[in-house]
Structure 1
Amino acid sequence: MRRTTPLALAAAALLLAGCGSQEDTGSSGKASEPPSPARSTAGCASHVELKAADHGRAVCVSKGGEVRLTLDGTKARPWKPVTASGTGLKAINAGFVLLPGDATAAYQAVAAGTVKLASSRPLCAEPTAPGQVSCEGIEEWTVTVRVG
């Protein structure tokens, strides 16, 4: 008969605790933000930082606040420039030096409204030699920003 030590039980408990956790799917409406962002009275963030992992999320930024985003790509799988459709945000200088394939953008929240930010990139790198595998798939990225 095999004995289970307290150390083994503790390790198993830690592993199981991690299995039950899930990634935030955006149900709170907030994107990745600095640890203690300043908040407006409406509950919107004054500064929002977006990454590729924020795809599909909806965020709220207070009027006068900023939205900044960085999509890390590669030379073989580059992100297209970010587009903004809607009202409420004004493009400002992102202030970043881009690496080949990256896309960055920055916006100031100037008026109440809703804006859809979008970009895309190839799912696969283009083949560099005959006979290599390639695909025609596109990876989409979108985030909805509400200015409150």
Structure 2
Amino acid sequence: MSNDNVTNPGEIDPDEAIADAWAAALEEQKESEQREPGGETHSGMEGIRRMSPEDFSGTRPEPASDINLNMVLDVPVTIAMEIGRTRIPIRNLLQLNQGSVVELDRLAGEPLDVLVNGTLIAHGEVVVVNEKFGIRLTDVISPSERVRKLR
């Protein structure tokens, strides 16, 4: 039989000592938060009032012409050109090697999709400029149409 919870008379229980130390520290913190340098006490909540939805009813968003876009002009985005997609089982994927042909869902001559951060923003066609591939935009998706496609 173990006597772990029994202490000898005059001996301090370590768990009680820790609990007392925490209680004293918390009380000291509470007192220091309530005192200002002049010695006055306060709750720290003066000047704060509760807001209701009605308090915001008179606020209106800024007109679009007042919005400053300069802060987002340097945010990097990922732009990708997609020539097509397909779905294949993992079994067929593992069998692919050099020279394999993967059939896509797009016909030859169809425009490519231009995606920004995964969102379709335009269609275009492949061009070669100075021996580098590029894309000529043929149709840009309007913002309202992009929002409609999100729904």
TM-score range, shorter chain: under 0.3
Work out which of the two has the higher radius of gyration on C-alpha atoms and give 1 or 2: 2
Q: Which TM-score applies when normalising by structure 1?
A: 0.20
Q: Which TM-score applies when normalising by structure 2?
A: 0.20
Query: Which structure would you say has the larger RCO, counting Cα contacts within 8 Å and 6 or more residues apart?
Result: 1
Between Structure 1 and Structure 2, the one with more strand by share is: 1
Between Structure 1 and Structure 2, the one with more helix by share is: 2
